[in-house]
Amino acid sequence: MKFNYNEEAVKNLNIGDTTVLDRLVDTASAREAHLKKDRARRDKRMSLAEAVREFVRDGDVLSDTGFSYVRTPIQAFFEIVRQGKKDLQIIGSPNSNQTYFIAKNVCRYSHCSYAGVEMRGTDRALSRYVKEGRTRVLSEWSHGSMAQGFKAAQLGAAGLFSRSLLGSDIVRYNPYVRVMQNPMKAESEPVVFVPALYPDVAIVHVHAADKYGNGRFFGPAVNDIAIAASARRLIVTAEEIVPESDIRYNNKGVAIPFICVDAVVELPYGGVPGSMPGRYYWSRQWWEKLCRDAMMSEEKIQEFIDYWIMDSNDQYGFLEKLGGVKWMIESQRQTKAEEYDNEDDGFDFSYEEWTNANPVEKYY
C-alpha cells in the first residue's frame, strides 16, 4: 500500500525512506488487527512485566497517554525501558516522557509535540538527542491536531478537516497533514486534512478496572478514550482491580470498554512520580532534579535513569527511593486538599524546591 505524504515536510525532515511513516496511518492493517482482537469477556489480568513482554514489540508505534505527568502510566513506561525494547516510534501530546526512552536507545523515532515540564524546566536532553541524531523526528504536531487524528481513528473516519494548523509552520514539518481546498465551499477556503492515527500499542492508567478491562478514571481524559479505540493493542494499568459489579453500579467515569483491552495490570502508584487525581500528588522535586540537573549532560542523565529506573524493579522500589510511606501519605493529603476533598484552610502547599544551589534529597 502506498501513501501520499506531504512532500515539503518529507524534504524538510530529510526522510529518505517514507515507509517508516506508514504504520501510523495504515488503516487497512489497523482494521485487520481490530477485527482479529479477542472480544471475549475473559480474565485478562497479568503482571506488568508479562504485559510489556507480550504486547510491546520492537519497532512498535507507542502512544503516550495521560498528560505529561497527570494520570500517565509512567511506571509501565519504565518497565519498557528495563526490558530494553528497540526501535520504537513514540507519539504523544505532550511528548514529555520520550527522553528516558531515547537515553536507553529504546525510542528510535519521535512524533513530536510540546516537550517541557512547565515551571520545573525544559527538556534539554531531548533537544540534544535530536541534534545528535539519537532519535529521528518523523512529524511535528500541535496538541489539537494530534487529538483530531486519534479521534478520526476512533470514529472510523479516514481523517478530519481542520483550520488549526493554518497559522503555523507545523504543516511544513508534518508529512501526514495536507493543506486542501474545503470541498464544501465554492470560493477559496484552505483547510488542513489530518489523517486517522493508529498506534500499535498504548498503555492507559486508570483509577480502577475489572478483570475484563473495563476502566474507570477521573480527571481529564485527554486523548485516552480515542487512543483506546484506535490502538491495535491496549494495556490497562489500574490503581486497583475491582469486581465487575462495582464497575456496573458505580459507572461514573467508566470510559474504557473491555472489548478494546488486551491486558489488565493491577499497579498501585503506577503513575508516580506523576500525579493521579484524587490519589496522589506529583513529586515536584523529582522533576526539578531531572530537568535542572540530570538533563544537563549525558553522564548525569544516565546516572539518574540507572538509579531511578534500571535499579528499581517495580513501583515499590521506586517509592522507597521517593520517600516511602511518608511520601505516599503526604502526596495523598496534597492532592485531596488541592481538589477540596480535604480541608484546605491552613494546609501548607509549600515545599523545599530542588535547585543546584539547594539539592534537597527529599521529594515531598
Which pLDDT score, from 0 to 100, does residue 286 have?
96
Q: CA 105, CA 99: separation in Å to the nearest integer? A: 10
Taking only the tens place, the pLDDT of each residue in 112-146 is 998 877 777 788 999 999 999 999 999 999 999 99
Name the grid cell of 78: 519504565
Q: Which long-range contacts link 347-350 to residues 24+ away (Cβ below 8 Å)?
A: none
Answering whether pTM is above 0.85, one says yes
Which pLDDT score, from 0 to 100, does residue 279 have?
96
Residues of 279-315 as b/e, b for ≥16 C-beta within 10 angstroms? bbbbbbbbbbbbbbbbbeeeeebeebbeebbeebebb
- CA angle, 150 then 154 then 160, to 5°: 60
Mean pLDDT, contiguous 10-residue spans, the chain (364 residues): 94 97 98 95 98 98 95 98 98 91 97 83 90 96 97 97 93 97 95 98 98 96 97 98 97 97 98 97 95 95 98 97 96 92 88 93 88
Which pLDDT score, from 0 to 100, does residue 110 have?
97
- CA angle, 197 then 201 then 205, to 5°: 105
Which pLDDT score, from 0 to 100, does residue 114 have?
87
Which pLDDT score, from 0 to 100, does residue 120 have?
79
CB of 273 within 8 A of CB of 74?
A: yes
Judged by DSSP in three states, 139 sits in strand
Taking only the tens place, the pLDDT of each residue in 254-272 is 999 999 999 999 999 999 9
Which pLDDT score, from 0 to 100, does residue 116 have?
76
User: Cα dihedral sign for 245, 249, 250, 253?
Assistant: positive
DSSP secondary structure of 173-239:
G-TT-EEEE-TT-SS--EEEEEE----SEEEEEEEEE-TT--EE--S--TTHHHHHHH-SEEEEEEE
Which pLDDT score, from 0 to 100, does residue 96 have?
83
> Residue type at 300?
K
